Structure 1
């Protein structure tokens, strides 16, 4: 029963995060960055850097989700911050979105930049 409740809660949260991400994608990204590294490696690095409890405290959760056309999205709880990692002719493109322009958003951007 407990496992069922956890699975249901996770599904509901993922649905809410997906809606927030789709709404954010209708606007311009907070920041767009480029990398010569493979998209998969960059996405895994971003996920790892966003999970650093020494930097982000107890809310150091980051998740990977496959996207359209081979892209990957790395996102935090409630999609407060997320990055779409895609591959194009020039290499890997990172489109970073943040719900608020605050200290945490800037800190996540700085962590993301270490993966370029």
Structure 2
């Protein structure tokens, strides 16, 4: 029973995050970046960087899932911040979205930049 409740909660979390991400994608990204590294390496690095409790405290959760149009998406709880990462002709393209332009969004962007 406990496992079922955890599975249902996780499904609801992904559903809520998905709709927030779709809404954010209708706007311009907070920041667009590129990397010479492979898409999967960048995605795993961003997930790891966003999980650093020393930097983000208790809000250090990050999740990696396949991207809507290929590639990968790394996102935080409730999709407060997320990045769409896709392979491109010149390397890897990153579109970073943040719900608010605040200190946390800038800190996540800085952590993301270490993975380029």
Q: What TM bracket, shorter-length normalisation?
A: over 0.9
TM-score by length of 2: 0.98
TM (normalized to structure 1)?
A: 0.98
**Counterpart in 2 of 1:43?**
43
Q: Distance in 2 between matches of 1:112 and 1:89?
A: 21
Q: CA deviation at 1:68?
A: 3.6
Q: Distance in 2 between matches of 1:69 and 1:14?
A: 17
Q: 5+ unaligned residues in a row in structure 1: which ranges? A: none
Over the aligned positions, Cα root-mean-square deviation in angstroms equals 0.7
Give the equivalent residue in structure 2 for 1:30.
30
Could you tell me how far apart the structure 1 residues matched to 2:68 and 2:10 are? 21
Q: Is 1:60 aligned to 2:60, yes or no?
A: yes
CA–CA distance in structure 1, aligned partners of residues 99 and 18 of structure 2: 13
- What residue is the counterpart of 1:19 in the other structure? 19
Tell me if 1:85 matches 2:91.
Answer: no
Q: Any idea what SS the aligned residue of 1:46 has?
A: helix
Match of 2:100 in 1: 100
Q: How many residues align?
A: 116
Q: Give the superposition deviation at 1:69.
A: 4.2
Describe the SS at the equivalent of 1:101.
coil
State the 4+ residue runs in structure 1 displaced beyond 2 angstroms: none
